[in-house]
Structure 1
Amino acid sequence: MNINTQIEFNKIQEIWAELASTDHAKEKISEANAILDEMDLRKELRDTTDSREMIEKLGNPPLQNVTEMKEIILVAEKDDCLTPYQLERVENVLVGTERLKDFLARGKQFNNPLAFYDENLDDIKELREEIVSQIRNEDVVDRASKILFDIRNKIRSAENNMKTKAEQIIRNNKDVMADSFYVLRSGRVCVPVKKEYKFKIPGSVIDKSSTGNTLFVEPVGVSKYFEEIELLRIEEENEVYRILYTLSAMVADVVPILEENVRMIEKLDYIFSKGKLSIDLDCVEPKINTERRMVLKKARHPLMDKEINVPLDVSLGVKCSGDGSGEEASYEEINENTEVIRGIVITGPNTGGKTVAIKTVMLNSLMAQCGLHVTCKEADICMNSNYLCDIGDGQNLSENLSTFSAHIKNVLEILKQVNKDSFVIMDELGSGTDPAEGMGIAVAVLEELRKSEANFLVTTHYPEVKEYADKTVGIVNARMTFDRETLKPTYKMVIGEAGESCAFYIADTLGMPEEMLKVAIEAAYGKGAVENYEFRNKEKVANKASSKIVKIKKTKKKPNNIISYNIGDSVMVSPDKKIGIVCASANEKGVLRVQIAGRKIWINQKRVKLLVKAEELYPEDYDFSIIFDSVEHRKLSHDMGRKYVEEALVYDSDNS
């Protein structure tokens, strides 16, 4: 994961970029990283301070985006013709340059070093005046030249004569006109003539109405003016191009000056954006050192509300004093007999602000090394060769990484890159696995960081790690405080003291029964700890009545010898999906007889689907022989019922 994302520096960059005007400055902000050259860094910080002071005294500078200007310069360098719009953009940038020069010049009264950048800006008044006098509203004005003025006057005169002539023809030929006014068709002035009188008006038919009853005719007397105007338009176009090429050549002659103007505007935009950010976040200029000393006083997280954020004091690379707060030590004072704090192990309750604390320190440090001011009351920050961090669970299903695996992967990568000039932060060191093994790994990692002599901050819950920090030279404990009355963290960090997670206390206060807490405490610290613990909640675990699940009552399945279909039921037979009528109920094997299209078949009832029951189709005591038996069969059956007959009824197993 990108470190800028882990510590939220990318969000600072987003806020910072919104304060810039040029695309170049925004891009530079998005690529901002720690400056490793001390001279460059000190200059960047001075620029930030100077820009903030100038904004506070004179307001925001008149800056504008000059990306289009770069494209215009490329066109001018090729000796191509610039459009009126592009020339107006040149004029706008030159006006902006003049205003920026005036703004910077006013800063000289305060002896602000940035004010002297005005000497690198040139508003080229001659070119600006030429463009203003000849271009307006993305067009060449009439008085750009005497020739253009005369041509356009002639065009307007010819247009008026053409319209006057058309109106005269309409008045003199009212009877043949379909309307009393002329119209424009394909740029030509036409009179509306009734179809039956089209030969009454000499001229060319340009168009006709949708019904075809009206013809739009350009009279001969009008067409001569149109031809005159077309010739004048060609002259106008030539003159316009001559003026544009002349102005384009003037722009090409001053391309080096324009390029320098653009470069300075982009540079000043970047510088002033840092000053605006300093004001918006209420920052101060940090001191910079190369002696591995980091002292932050009243440091705030720049993305948190200043009114609710609790500032913290942190010291690294300084001598350890008795109260644990740290006493500043100069490079000359530090020697092998001096106990210098290189690492801080932060403990405390969950949501107590441990992660915010380590992010706050690294974020301010990185901001300072990018040439920005920091959100502290005072800050003395060392330059770091690299910033290394392990924050978040890092779980990645696509790479089959568990929380612990991701942590270990990040930690090993950090240990490969760490050196004495590094700054490292790690959150929940050793978490995500068996506590005993995780604790061992946490101690081993801390030992490696101690050997590297890097400055580092880590958070943990392991008591063994607290003991290690308490006994190891160069590492100190710190705790995030907790209000036992409100059960809320105070977000204050106290250096020199180990904290506790307060899990048992919180659980006890929130109502966990005594018997459960005893089991938990004994499992964590042994029987002795149970005897010394003062329980607040004496209640036992009581199960509350809860809603019951209503299950569907299961019905016994019918055996196969139960008849499901009755004679006369309308059914569908699969797989042919033919419609039939049950003529014999199912036997013990589940086989029934169905009449389909004049023939009867035996079929398993599993292949039959009921459509309509017999009682819905037929009246009670209905004689189904009407459906299933032939007329001859029914007559013979009737005769046999009342007298002796020689014929016999024969039933076929498949057909009747």
Structure 2
Amino acid sequence: MHTEALAALEFPAIVERLAGATATSTGAELARALVPSADHDEVARRQAVTAEAIALLEASVEPPFGGISDVREAAAHAALGGILTPEALSAIGLTIGGGLRARAALDEHAELAPLLDELGAKIDRTLAPLAEEIGRRVEQDGSDLRDTASPRLRRLRTELREGRQRVAEELRRLSRSPALREHLQEDFVAQRGGRPVLAVKASARRSVPGIVHDASGSGQTLFVEPFQVVELNNRQSEAAGAEREEVVRILRELSTAVGERADALEVLVEATGAIDLAVACGTVSRRWRGSPVEVSGEVRLLGARHPLLDPATAVPIDLDLGPLRALVISGPNTGGKTVALKTLGLAALLHQSGLRPPAVTAGLPVFDEVLADIGDQQSIEMSLSTFSGHIRNLVAILDSATERSLVLVDELASGTDPVEGSALAQALLTRLAEQARLTIVTTHYPELKEWASATDGAANAATGLDPETHAPLYRVALGRPGTSHALQTAERLGLEGSVVSDARNRVAPERLRIAELLAEAEAAERTAIEERAATERERAEVRELGERARERETELEAETEKVRASAARARELAVAEAASDLADARA
């Protein structure tokens, strides 16, 4: 797919939204790299995987992704003999644990998601001992090795703690001794060069025997390590060196074990990323109420919405185009023509990317290209006018379009002389209708609307304004051209009435009459739709009343049966009681 068309149709915003729905960095990376496929089998596979993800989400049994991160670089470094940090090792251990949990969840619900379970099966269960070994020897937050990582490390760290305590106690004893107290600048123990020291007055240097490690900025204080703790500190340094060597040995040992499983770790990360992407596709598709697509040779979108618009306010459109090869959409500016183009274009891109387009019903071909020329192509840097930029794009579209292509052009051949632009638009659309599977353009050219009415395989469609408020309706009506309503729009936006009136007088009478006829047709169609909707509501009310009457009749019959049964039981009891009384009387 052409990147220019993807950008024009706002597909990058779609993949960013998709990336935001992922749970792992690898899933987000795959989402941002997602492009529509032109291969029928690949599109079917993507849609099948998304359907499985939706089934898992609806059953609330989607796989967990907690703890998983992209550890491929760390694993590759270990495979080359590098030593990993505790933080990197901890991330690897957590990633293995997260991947195995995801696989277990998919295994448990394999009947709902066999393709996703097949992806999960790539996660090697034999990685579990490596994760357990890392977890046993490395702190979970990756801050350090555990003291219990080896018996020697535990002994050395115990020795270090006890040694620090002995040094601290000896320094505290010295700082409290009468012989030294008056010579100290402060009575606390400081650190210089990794050695515990006392803050001694410079004038009393000879009164505190020891090694001077530092001096204050003013020169009034010397930081002295008393000779009484030098040997203790030396033993501490030796133990610290041995502890560092043991840490490096353990890290090297764990890193070697990771390097030996680098390939399996890479597969785990990629498999969980792919599963995460599938779940994100399902999540996003459900969020905007996407519909499964029936692959066919014709475009049929009912109740379709632009996926980036607020679903609460977006007006759904119907594009049931059948075998049409060209559609000309006309109508007022801001009336929804461009949104209709983008809605169809994005529906195709979403379908071929593995997402469900937001619609009530969706039927689409698998296009080999979605080619679009939407927006202002002006470029000062490239010395291109708006018209030149459009023509450059149209040349590229003609070079690329095939019998399987979808072509979307906003304001075809606009930005130039209207007579020449109209002729060029008709010639271009004639060629594109022959060359591409489906071409949809928007226009204000009357001649192009006439072309669509007179050409086999082509049709008009209209967007319109509310006749009372003159606000855009954002609906698409197939089968008739729309009017631009330029004068009404200008008047609505505050242009002086006399200017609008003068402009209206300058329009050819036949053009005004055509516009009036189109407006009347539009109003009649709207009235018919409203009357049909009212009739449907009345029929629904009648059906509901009839249903209620039937329910009430059933309830009354049930109550009648209860009364009859109760009366019968009462009669039986009365007869039994009378018989009993008669028997007692005879006795």
**Normalized against structure 2, the TM-score is what?**
0.79
Contact 1:299 1:360 in 2 (8 A): yes
Structure 1 residue 439 displacement after superposition: 1.7
Pick aligned residue for 1:270 from 271, 274, 277: 277
> For residues 382 and 257 of structure 1, what CA distance do their matches in structure 2 show?
39
Is 1:293 equivalent to 2:295 in the alignment?
A: no
Pick aligned residue for 1:143 from 148, 152, 169: 148
Percent identical residues: 32
> For residues 533 and 496 of structure 1, what CA distance do their matches in structure 2 show?
17
Pick aligned residue for 1:127 from 104, 126, 130: 130
User: What does the per-residue CA deviation read over 1:56-93, in whole Å, with 9 as the maximum and x for residues that have no partner?
Assistant: 32265432686651121112101222221121111111
User: What does the per-residue CA deviation read over 1:304-360, in whole Å, with 9 as the maximum and x for residues that have no partner?
Assistant: 122222212113343xxxxxxxxxxxxxxxxxxxxxx21111122222111111211
Q: Which residue of 2 aligns with 1:351?
A: 334
Q: Which residue of 2 aligns with 1:336?
A: none
* SS at 1:488 equivalent: coil
> For residues 284 and 199 of structure 1, what CA distance do their matches in structure 2 show?
88
User: What does the per-residue CA deviation read over 1:227-256, in whole Å, with 9 as the maximum and x for residues that have no partner?
Assistant: 222222222222222222222222223223
Matched AA of 2:290: C
User: What does the per-residue CA deviation read over 1:36-60, in whole Å, with 9 as the maximum and x for residues that have no partner?
Assistant: 2211110011011111221232265
Structure 1 residue 372 displacement after superposition: 1.5
Structure 1 residue 210 displacement after superposition: 5.7
Matched AA of 1:84: P
Is 1:449 equivalent to 2:451 in the alignment?
A: no
**Match runs of 1:226-265 below 5 Å:** 226-265=233-272
User: What does the per-residue CA deviation read over 1:596-623, in whole Å, with 9 as the maximum and x for residues that have no partner?
Assistant: xxxxxxxxxxxxxxxxxxxxxxxxxxxx
Is 1:282 equivalent to 2:289 in the alignment?
A: yes
Change (3 A) 1:288 1:147: same
> For residues 168 and 528 of structure 1, what CA distance do their matches in structure 2 show?
107
Q: Which residue of 2 aligns with 1:412?
A: 395
**Match runs of 1:116-515 below 5 Å:** 116-122=118-124, 124-136=127-139, 137-174=142-179, 177-179=182-184, 182-191=189-198, 198-199=205-206, 201-208=208-215, 215-289=222-296, 292-318=297-323, 341-504=324-487
Q: Which residue of 1 aligns with 2:105?
A: 103
Q: Which residue of 1 aligns with 2:567?
A: none
Change (3 A) 1:162 1:46: same
User: What does the per-residue CA deviation read over 1:273-301, in whole Å, with 9 as the maximum and x for residues that have no partner?
Assistant: 21122122221121123xx3111111111
> For residues 76 and 533 of structure 1, what CA distance do their matches in structure 2 show?
77
Change (3 A) 1:207 1:468: closer
- Say what the alpha-carbon RMSD is for the aligned residues: 3.1
Matched AA of 2:332: P
Q: Which residue of 1 aligns with 2:529?
A: none
* SS at 1:2 equivalent: helix
Matched AA of 1:7: L
> For residues 257 and 198 of structure 2, what CA distance do their matches in structure 1 show?
48
Contact 1:176 1:193 in 2 (8 A): no
Contact 1:58 1:107 in 2 (8 A): no
Pick aligned residue for 1:94 from 93, 96, 112: 96
Matched AA of 2:129: E
Q: Which residue of 1 aligns with 2:552?
A: none
Change (3 A) 1:150 1:463: closer
Pick aligned residue for 1:8 from 10, 17, 36: 10
Contact 2:70 2:269 in 1 (8 A): no
* SS at 1:449 equivalent: helix
Higher helix share: 2
**Normalized against structure 1, the TM-score is what?**
0.71
Change (3 A) 1:104 1:355: same
Q: Which residue of 2 aligns with 1:81?
A: 83
Matched AA of 1:242: R
Is 1:35 equivalent to 2:42 in the alignment?
A: no
Matched AA of 2:75: I
Structure 1 residue 487 displacement after superposition: 0.9
Contact 1:522 1:530 in 2 (8 A): no
Matched AA of 2:335: G
* SS at 1:89 equivalent: helix
Structure 1 residue 302 displacement after superposition: 0.9
Matched AA of 1:107: H
Q: Which residue of 2 aligns with 1:589?
A: none
> For residues 522 and 451 of structure 1, what CA distance do their matches in structure 2 show?
40
Q: Which residue of 2 aligns with 1:47?
A: 49
Structure 1 residue 370 displacement after superposition: 1.8
Matched AA of 2:225: E
Structure 1 residue 209 displacement after superposition: 5.5
Matched AA of 1:56: E
> For residues 474 and 155 of structure 2, what CA distance do their matches in structure 1 show?
80
Contact 1:469 1:475 in 2 (8 A): yes
Q: Which runs of 5+ in 2 are unaligned?
A: 518-587
> For residues 17 and 265 of structure 1, what CA distance do their matches in structure 2 show?
14
Counting matched residue pairs gives 510
Matched AA of 2:399: K
> For residues 530 and 444 of structure 1, what CA distance do their matches in structure 2 show?
27
Structure (1 or 2) with the larger CA radius of gyration? 1
Change (3 A) 1:405 1:203: closer
> For residues 138 and 168 of structure 2, what CA distance do their matches in structure 1 show?
29
Q: Which residue of 2 aligns with 1:612?
A: none
Matched AA of 1:275: G
Structure 1 residue 125 displacement after superposition: 2.9
* SS at 2:359 equivalent: coil
Change (3 A) 1:109 1:168: same
Structure 1 residue 423 displacement after superposition: 0.9
Structure 1 residue 473 displacement after superposition: 0.7
Structure 1 residue 373 displacement after superposition: 0.8
Matched AA of 1:80: G
Structure 1 residue 155 displacement after superposition: 2.6
* SS at 1:490 equivalent: coil
Deviates more, 1:366-375 or 1:176-185: 176-185
Change (3 A) 1:527 1:295: closer
Structure 1 residue 207 displacement after superposition: 4.1
Change (3 A) 1:144 1:382: same
Structure 1 residue 437 displacement after superposition: 2.0
> For residues 227 and 65 of structure 1, what CA distance do their matches in structure 2 show?
42
> For residues 229 and 409 of structure 2, what CA distance do their matches in structure 1 show?
88
Contact 1:121 1:261 in 2 (8 A): yes
> For residues 222 and 514 of structure 2, what CA distance do their matches in structure 1 show?
112
Contact 1:364 1:374 in 2 (8 A): yes
